[in-house]
Amino acid sequence: MVKVKDLLEILQGGIPTVRIIDANVPQENNRDNAGVMACEYLDRIALNKNYWRPFEDCEVVRFKVTHEVSHKQYKEKGLIPPFRPDLTAEYELGDLKQKTYYDIYIDGSTAGDDWKK
C-alpha cells in the first residue's frame, strides 16, 4: 500500500490543493465536505511539515482529482460557496473560478495523535 508521504513526494509542487479526507465518513455528493481533515496548497506542504505529520504514515485508501467550479460572486447571488474561498483559484474564466483538489482518502482513525480535530 502507498502511504500519504509517498504519494505527496510524487505530487511535488504546483497550485493544486491537497485534501486529506477520512474515508470512513459518508459523503452525499462531490460538494459534501464531511470528513475533510486537512487542506493546503501542494507547494506549501514542505513548508508546513508539522500540519501534515499526523497523516504522513497513513495508508492511502483512495485517491481522486476533484475539480470545483464556482461563481466569483457566489455570496451576492446566494450560490454555494467554494470549499475554501480563501485559496486562489487556478483559472478564472469570465464570472467563474476553477480549482483542482487532490483528494487523498485515509482511514481517519490511523491519523497521528497530534491531529487537531
Q: Where are the domains of the chain?
A: 4-110
Render each residue's pLDDT in the chain as its tens digit; 117 residues.
899 999 988 887 667 889 999 998 887 766 667 788 888 888 777 777 788 889 999 999 999 988 888 888 888 988 888 888 877 777 788 888 888 889 999 998 888 877 665
- As a whole number of Å, the CA-based R_g of the chain is 15
DSSP letters of 9-77?
HHT-SSS-EEEEEETTS--SSTT--TTEEEEEEGGGTGGGHHHHTTTTTSBEEEEEEEEEEEETTHHHH
For residue 4, give the H/E element and its range.
helix 4-10
18 touches 39 (CB < 8 A) = yes
Q: Rounded CA gap, 64 and 74, in Å?
A: 25
